Homo-oligomer: A and B are copies of this chain.
Amino acid sequence: MANSPSGESMIERIIRILGAFSSERPALSVAALAARAGIPPATTHRIVRALTDQRMLEKDGAGRVRLGIRLWELASRGSSVTTLRQAALPFLEDVQSVVRQHTQLTILQDGGDVLFVERLSWHGSIANAARVAGRLPAAISSSGLALLAFGDRARTEHYLRHGYDPDAPWARMSVAELRRQLAHVRREGYALLDSHVVDTTSGVAVPVLGADGQAVAALGVVVPAGQERVGTTVPVLQTSARGIARRATELGLSFNENTGDAGRGTG
């Protein structure tokens, strides 16, 4: 449908344009947008105009383009992510009020990426690389380890064989080490990673287990390295994770990606 000369559909191009924005670059000139999206400037101009007419994009006074509020509204209204974060928010607040550090809820996407659904920042707390709707590789975040360890076995195995690149600049473990880590996380019931994302911080995370015993999400905190206080933090996280799981089940939420098993979809 509506294929360009290169055979790329209009929908793919729209997604490339929307995907060019980030928390670090929320506003782009049309030229910069074209470059980042890899779409010819004239075509980018035309699509931007159409998206702006429909308020999926907005232009500021300087002519720079940013994501439109209408897009956020359409994408959030009725989204399972909105439902999950709304259901989980009171429990995240409970954790934050006790642990007094960044508290975050994540889901696994594309097999090996941790997607941040919600993050509560503690006034004056330490640096944290994560942003809402941002991603981190699963293998360098405690939440990712919890999601891989307690997620679908076949999917985790697929990630270990094909998805994880131990030579990636961010990678810290060989495949064998990662396997050992995941076995350890399964045994202990929580994941602890120190100084992986930021030198001075550690992450502690537990799975939010669905009715099928698999992780639908992970609940974690980021604390200054050395202040993990696992004996307190883990039970607090596990308690709230159970609360989130209960609400998620009541709401029929499932975030296991469809791997062809038709029975897995939520009703």
Contact = CB atoms under 8 A, between A and B. Distances in A.
Contact of A75 (B58, B75, B89, B258): B75
A133 interface: yes
A9 B69 contact: no
Interface residues of A, number: 69
A86 B132 CA distance: 8
A167 interface: no
Contact of A263 (B25, B59, B61, B86): B61
Interface stretch (A12-20, A155-163, A173-181): A12-20
Nearest to A263: B61
A50 to B, nearest CB: 5
Interface string A72-101: 111111111111001001100100000000
Contact of A82 (B58, B109, B132, B264): B132
Interface string A43-63: 000110011011010111110
The CB with the most chain B CB atoms within 10 A, among A11, A54, A109, is that of A11
A23 interface: yes
A14 B1 CA distance: 13
Contact of A2 (B10, B90, B133): B10
Contact of A78 (B14, B62, B67, B121): B67
Contacts of A9: 50
A29 interface: no
Interface of A: 1-2, 9-12, 14-15, 18-19, 21-26, 46-47, 50-51, 53-54, 56, 58-62, 66-67, 69-83, 86, 89-90, 93, 107, 109, 115, 119-121, 123, 131-135, 255, 258, 262-267
21 contacts: A1-B10, A2-B10, A11-B47, A11-B50, A11-B54, A15-B74, A22-B77, A25-B78, A26-B79, A26-B83, A59-B258, A61-B262, A61-B266, A69-B115, A73-B81, A82-B133, A86-B132, A89-B120, A90-B120, A90-B121, A93-B93
Question: Which 10 A-B pairs rank lowest in CB-CB distance, beginning with the nearest?
Answer: A61-B265, A75-B75, A2-B2, A76-B133, A60-B265, A21-B78, A77-B133, A26-B78, A72-B81, A18-B74
